[in-house]
Amino acid sequence: MRTMEYVYLLSPEGTDRLRVRAQRVGHHIVAFAVQYEASLHGAWCPIVRFDTAHGFAHRDLMHPDGRVDKEPLPWQTYNVALTLATHELKTSWRRYRQRYEEESRDL
């Protein structure tokens, strides 16, 4: 089994990043986690994560009050899920950050 890990900066200011970890056997992804994190109030805060913990691909949407919404993903293989999750976070991170910041103001 081979593991790949990297951090991808999303914003020019360096306050938004994508943390990726995947394990593969041959060409097949057997586990992964793709997490969008934002630097808020001096600390890195997880906002949304796609992963295979608990034995299935799903999305965890974090809330400032500590709640986590878990949604199963419909994608057929972990290879596809990893690719689409990475693409989703690279293109939609601003929307996720805005939602989180708006929820934080309501606390």
| pLDDT tens-place string over residues 62-80 | 999 999 999 999 888 999 9
pLDDT score of 75: 84
For the cut 90, the answer to whether the pLDDT of residue 13 exceeds it is yes
Two tokens at 4? 């790949």
Print the domain residue range for 15: 2-105
pLDDT at 89 over 80: yes
* Domains held by the chain: number: 1
Reference 10, options 95, 94, 99; nearest CA is 94
Helix (H, G, I), strand (E, B) or coil at 85: helix
Strand 68-72 and strand 2-9: the pairing is: unpaired
Could you give the CA distance from residue 21 to residue 41 in angstroms, rounded to a whole number?
Answer: 25
Answer whether 24's CB lies under 8 Å from 86's CB: no
- Cα separation, 42 vs 51, whole angstroms: 26
> Using one digit for the tens of pLDDT, what is the confidence trace for 17-72?
999 999 999 999 999 999 999 999 899 999 999 999 988 999 999 999 999 999 99
